[in-house]
A and B are shown apart, each in its own frame.
Chain A
Amino acid sequence: MLKFVIFLWKFAVGTVLCLTPLSAILVIGWTARAMRRRSALAWYRHSGRHTASTPFRTFAATRTAHAHLAAWPNWILGQAPGAMRAAAAAQGLGARAVPGLWLRILAGSLWENFRTGLQVLLNTWTLTLPAGALWLMSWWGGWENSFNKGYEQAFVGPGVALAGIAMFVTALFHVPLAQARQASGGQWRVFYGFAFVRALRRHGRFGIAKLALRYVVAGAVLAALHAAPLALGGYLDGQEELSAQQRTNIAALYHLITAAAVFAMFVWLRLAAAILYGEAVLRALHARAITRSDLSALEQGLLEDLDIDTSLDETRPNAVIRAVQVSGRSIAALTLTAAIAALWFALAAETYIAQFLNHRWLSWINHAFVQIPWLG
Chain B
Amino acid sequence: MDRRGFTSGLLGAGALLAGPAPLFAETDPTPVRTPYGGPNVIVIRFGGGVRRRETIDPDHTYSPYLRHVLARRGTLFTNMRIASQEGIVTSHAQGTLYILTGRYDRYVDVEARIFSERYEPKAPTIFEYLRKVYRVPRHQALIVNGEDRVNEDFLTFSTDHLYGVDYRSSVLSLHWFKLYLVRRRLRENRVSARERERLEKQLAELEARNYRPDAPDRQAPRLQDFWRRWRRHYGDSGLVNPRGDRLLTELSVRAIKELRPRLMMVNYQDPDYVHWGNLSHYTRAISIIDQGIQRLVETVEADEEYRGNTVFVVVPDCGRDNNPLMEVSCQHHFNSRSAHEIWALVAGPGIARDVIVDRPVEQIAIAGTVAQIMSFGADQSEGEVLAECFA
Q: Who on chain B is nearest to A239 by CB?
A: B337
For B332, the chain A residues whose CB sits under 8 A away are 230, 357
- B334 part of interface (Cβ distance < 8 Å): yes
Among the 9-residue stretches B12-20, B272-280, B357-365, B370-378, the one with 4 or more Cβ atoms under 8 Å from chain A is B272-280
**Interface SS of chain A:** helix
- Does A99 reach chain B (CB closer than 8 Å)? no
Q: What CA separation (Å) do A149 and B338 show in the bound complex?
A: 29
Q: Does B239 interact with chain A (Cβ within 8 Å)? A: yes
- A144-170 interface code vs B (CB 8 A; 1 in, 0 out): 101111011000000000000000000
Q: Which of A237, A247, A251, A359 contacts B337 (CB 8 A)?
A: A237
Q: Let me know if B273 and A143 touch, CB within 8 A.
A: yes
Beta-carbon contact of A358 and B327 below 8 Å: yes
Please, how many angstroms separate the alpha-carbon atoms of A254 and B323 in the complex? 14
Chain A residues contacting B335 (CB-CB under 8 Å) are 234
CB distance from A358 to the nearest CB of B (A): 5
- From the candidates B278, B284, B325, name the one contacting A254 in the complex (CB within 8 A): B325
Interface residues of A in 115-140 (CB under 8 A from B): 139-140
What is the minimal beta-carbon distance from A231 to any residue of chain B, in angstroms? Answer: 9
- The listed residue (B275, B285, B324) touching A233 by CB distance below 8 A is B324
Q: Which of B327-345 contact A (CB under 8 A)?
A: 327-329, 331-332, 334-338
Cα of A360 to Cα of B335 in the assembled complex, Å? 22
A149 touches B336 (CB 8 A): no
Say yes or no: is B117 at the interface (Cβ < 8 Å to chain A): no
Within the assembled complex, what's the spacing in Å between the Cα atoms of A337 and B256?
A: 62
Asked if residues B278 and A236 are in contact (CB atoms below 8 Å), the reply is no
Report B-chain residues with C-beta under 8 Å of the C-beta of A143.
273, 276-278, 281
Contact partner of B323 (CB less than 8 A), chosen from A234, A355, A361, is A234
Chain A: which residue is nearest B276 at the CB level? A143
The yes or no answer to A317 lying at the interface (CB within 8 A) is: no
Task: Kindly identify, within residues 251 to 269 of chain A, every residue whose CB is under 8 Å from any CB belonging to chain B.
Answer: 251, 254
B173 at the interface (CB under 8 A from A): no
CB-contacts of A303-359 with B (<8 A): 355-359
Rounded to whole angstroms, the CA-CA distance of A151 and B332 in the bound complex is: 25
- Judge whether A139 and B277 touch: CB under 8 Å: yes
Is B32 on the interface with A (CB-CB < 8 A)? no
A140 to chain B: closest residue by CB: B278
Nearest chain A CB to B22 CB, angstrom units? 38
B325 to A146, Cβ gap below 8 A?
no
- Verify B325–A251 contact, CB threshold 8 A: yes
The contact of B325 among A148, A152, A229, by CB within 8 Å, is: A229
A94 CB–B CB distance under 8 Å: no
Question: Of A237, A355, A359, which one neighbours B338 at CB under 8 angstroms?
Answer: A237
Interface string of B235-257 (1 = CB under 8 A from A): 00011000110000000000000
Q: Whole-angstrom distance between the alpha carbons of A144 and B244 in the complex?
A: 12
Give 1 or 0 for each of A52-65: 1 = CB within 8 Å of chain B CB: 00000000000000
- A232 at interface, CB cutoff 8 A: yes
B321 in contact (CB, < 8 A):
yes
The answer on a CB contact under 8 Å between A238 and B336 is yes
Most chain-A CB neighbours within 10 Å: which of B281, B285, B321, B326?
A: B326
Interface residues of B in 271-312 (CB under 8 A from A): 273, 275-278, 281, 284-285
Given the known interface contacts A148-B243, A359-B276, the answer about A233 and B323 at a Cβ–Cβ threshold of 8 Å is: yes
State the Cβ distance, B175 to closest chain A Cβ, in Å. 15
Q: How far is the CA of A247 from the CA of B325 in the complex (A)?
A: 10
List, in ascending order, chain A residues with CB within 8 A of B238's CB.
151
In the complex, whether B120 has a CB less than 8 A from a CB of chain A is: no
Residues B243 and A149 in contact, CB atoms below 8 Å apart: yes
Given A230-B332, A230-B334, is A139 in contact with B324 using a C-beta cutoff of 8 Å?
no
Residue B270 lies at the interface, judged by CB distance under 8 Å to chain A: yes
B322 at the interface (CB under 8 A from A): yes
Q: Is the CB of B334 within 8 A of A139?
A: no
Q: Is B323 touching A229 in the complex (CB atoms < 8 A)?
A: yes
For chain A, residues 213 to 245, give those with C-beta under 8 angstroms from any C-beta of chain B.
Answer: 229-230, 232-234, 236-238
Tell me which residues across on chain A come within 8 A of B324, comparing CB atoms. 233, 236-237, 247, 251
Give the Cβ gap from B336 to chain A, nearest Cβ, in Å: 4
User: Across the interface, do A233 and B276 meet the contact criterion of CB distance under 8 Å?
Assistant: no
Chain A contacts for B243, CB-based, 8 A: 148-149
Q: Which residues of chain A have C-beta atoms less than 8 A from B239's C-beta?
A: 151-152
Partner of B327 from A149, A234, A236, A361 at Cβ < 8 Å: A361
- Cα A146 to Cα B269 in complex, Å, equals 13
Q: State whether A356 touches B275 (Cβ < 8 A).
A: yes
Contacts of A357 in B (CB 8 A): 332
Chain A residue contacts of B270, Cβ below 8 A? 147
Nearest CB of chain A from residue B202's CB, rounded to whole Å: 15
For A149, the closest partner residue in chain B by CB is B243
Write the nearest CB–CB distance from B281 to chain A, whole angstroms.
5
Question: In the complex, which residues of chain B have a beta carbon less than 8 angstroms from the beta carbon of A237?
Answer: 321-324, 336-338
User: By the criterion CB–CB under 8 Å, are B327 and A359 in contact?
Assistant: yes
Which B residues, 207 to 241, have Cβ-Cβ distances below 8 Å to chain A? 238-239
Q: Which of B239, B281, B323, B325 has the most chain A CB atoms inside 10 A of its CB?
A: B325
With A230-B326, A230-B332, A232-B325 known as contacts, the answer to whether A146 contacts B273 (CB < 8 A) is yes
Task: Tell me the smallest distance from the CB of B91 to a CB of chain A, in Å.
Answer: 15
- Name the residue on A nearest B282 (C-beta): A147
Given A140-B278, A234-B336, A238-B337, also A148-B327 (CB < 8 A): no
**Residue of B273, B321, B328 touching A147 (CB-CB under 8 A):** B273
When distances are taken between beta carbons in the complex, the residues of chain B under 8 Å from A232 are 325
Nearest chain A CB to B204 CB, angstrom units: 21
Does A358 lie within 8 Å of B278, measured CB to CB? no
Q: Whole-angstrom distance between the alpha carbons of A229 and B326 in the complex?
A: 6
Q: Which of A233, A234, A251 has the largest count of B CB atoms less than 10 A from its CB?
A: A234
- Are the C-beta atoms of A359 and B331 separated by less than 8 Å? yes
Subset of 7 A-B contacts with CB under 8 Å: A143-B277, A233-B336, A236-B325, A237-B338, A357-B332, A358-B331, A359-B331
- A144-B278, A232-B325 known; 16 other A-B pairs, CB under 8 Å? A143-B281, A144-B281, A147-B278, A148-B243, A151-B238, A229-B326, A233-B325, A233-B329, A233-B336, A236-B324, A251-B324, A251-B325, A356-B277, A357-B332, A359-B278, A359-B326
Q: Which 10 pairs between the two chains have the least Cβ-Cβ distance?
A: A359-B277, A233-B323, A149-B243, A229-B325, A233-B325, A234-B336, A238-B337, A143-B276, A147-B281, A147-B273
